[in-house]
Amino acid sequence: MGLFDSFKKNSSAAPAATTANNPDTQELDFMSAIEAHVRWKVRLENYIDGNNAEKLDPDIVCQDNQCILGKWIYGAGQKYKDNPLFEEIRVVHTDFHKGAAQIIRMSDAGEKTAAMDMVQRGDHYKNSQRIKSKLARLHIELKGGEE
């Protein structure tokens, strides 16, 4: 069984990243949170290439508590704050958002090649991979504790 197989069996088609509308008080839909961070790669690539009318504000993007995962980390997820894996996710998630903001600033300054390299191969790419892996591991760990 692969690392993400558990998600495929348990994830719903609903786009919500929590089991209810309020991420501060509900459990996280781990697969939706992973998918949301995967989509950031495409958003950033499109932004750098100018293929998207979306205006990304680096002063907002750098805030790690504005997305569904961040709201959960600083809300309902705090019950896991003593779990070392949870803390690793929080740190990598913060770095992910700081990196995304840096990429936007680089693109806005005309450093498009360097910005694209960060998205596709640099630290931002690595942090994206780490978030996916660590969220999958935390999901499996927490699910195992319930059974």
User: Domain-by-domain residue ranges, the chain?
Assistant: 28-146
In total, the chain counts a number of residues equal to 147
pLDDT surpasses 60 at 146: no
Rounded to the nearest angstrom, the gap between the alpha carbon of residue 112 and the centroid of all alpha carbons in its chain is 22
Q: Which of 20-24, 30-34, 41-45 has the lowest mean pLDDT?
A: 20-24
Superfamily for 28-146?
Aspartate receptor, ligand-binding domain (1.20.120.30)
Place of tokens 């704050």: 81
Other Cβ atoms less than 10 A from the Cβ of 79: the count is 9
Instruction: Supply the pTM of this predicted model.
Output: 0.80
Two structure tokens written together for 50 = 């100018």
- Give the pLDDT confidence of 49-70 residue by residue, as tens digits: 999 888 999 999 999 999 999 9
- Give the pLDDT confidence of 79-122 residue by residue, as tens digits: 999 999 999 999 999 999 999 999 999 999 999 999 999 999 99
φ, ψ for residue 28, nearest 5 deg: -80, 140
